Amino acid sequence: MKIEKIGVIGAGVMGAGIAQAFATSGYPVLLRDISQSALDRVFATVKASLSRLVAKEKMTQSDADAALARIVPTLKLEDFRDRDLIVEAVVEKFEVKKAIVADLDGICAEKAIFASNTSSLSLTKIAAASKQPGRVIGMHFFNPVPMMRLVEVIRAIQTSDAVNAAIVETVARLGKEARVARDSYGFVVNRVLIPMVNEAINCVYENVATPEDVDAMMKLGAAHPMGPLALADMIGLDIVLDVMEVLYAGFSDPKYRPSPLLKQMCDAGFLGRKTGRGFFSY
């Protein structure tokens, strides 16, 4: 399975990073969103990211210009008919992802691979939305995509061996490392990481320690490069809550119960860096 033309659906933070990663590796990328303003913002974001790499002498200005030129915006899903690999990076809602897969089925060639950047939802359920579920797989990138080496490749029950091999090879061509996991709620990274973050939030909720001290203790005592609460603010507390709720509902295990404080902060709109306030101020 030869992958040459890429499609990315969703022009948010993750979509922008995924598009940049493919474009800097020489792939032509078609980037789709439902609003022109989102597409305009993502080009400014990618241009700024590439400029930082140029300033750090990690790439030349000509290479940065060429990468940006490889990203073509569109508002039409129909434009993806010639893509070999389409990666969706839309909101973490099953019904939205299911609808995209079903729509792509009626547009794309039979050889096209559909990948989801979901961080916790069942790939097996997402794959079932396709008439060819064997071509559906998970590609879980991590933020910031241009810098993070891991891509968690998630095999649905239906994913074919050929599709899995093609995606592992493609990840290597991006200069990243693929690690394959079977489909399970939260996969590996978020199943381990997000409950740890949730427990750090509980330490604040129960007045065990301040946010500053919780993060300092984990950095000093566990050699974490970033404290769990600062990490939660970077991820977005709404995303942390979404993952916890998927784990809680999927496993029916009380150890995955979201912290009451996490719910309260999301209700208040204190979502972290993107709103200027979370456990810390920005």
Phi-psi region of 188 (alpha: psi -120 to 50; beta: other; left: phi over 0): alpha
Residues serving a catalytic function are 119, 140, 152, 190
CA distance 18 to 42: 11
For 96, other C-beta atoms within 10 Å of its C-beta total: 12
Residues 36, 32, 149, 192: is their CA dihedral positive or negative?
A: positive
Q: Is 56 annotated as a binding residue?
A: yes
Is 10 annotated as belonging to a binding site?
yes
Q: Are 136 and 98 in contact (CB under 8 A)?
A: no
**Residue 49 counted as an annotated binding residue:** yes
Say if residues 51 and 64 touch (Cβ distance below 8 Å).
yes
Dihedrals phi, psi of 32, to nearest 5 degrees:
-120, 140
CA gap 218, 200 in Å, rounded: 9
Q: Is the dihedral of CA 189, 114, 3, 38 positive or negative?
A: negative
Q: Is 12 annotated as a binding residue?
A: yes
């973050």: which residue's tokens?
197
Q: Cis check for the bond before 144: say yes or no (omega within 30 of 0).
A: yes
CA neighbor of 42 nearest in space, from 10, 66, 83: 10
175 marked as part of a ligand binding site: no
Please tell me whether 92 is known to bind a ligand.
Answer: yes
Q: Which ranges of 123-253 would DSSP assign to H, the alpha helix?
A: 123-127, 161-173, 189-205, 211-222, 228-235, 237-251
Would the annotation count 25 as a binding residue? no
253 is in an annotated binding site: no
Does 37 carry a binding-site annotation?
Answer: no
Give backbone dihedrals phi and psi of 115, rounded to 5 degrees, phi first.
Answer: -120, 140
Residue 57, marked binder? no
What is the rounded CA–CA span in Å between residue 33 and residue 35?
6
Known binding-site residues for NAD(+) equal 10-15, 33, 92, 97, 119, 143, 274
Known binding-site residues equal 10-15, 33, 49, 56, 92, 97, 119, 143, 274
Known binding-site residues for CoA equal 49, 56, 119
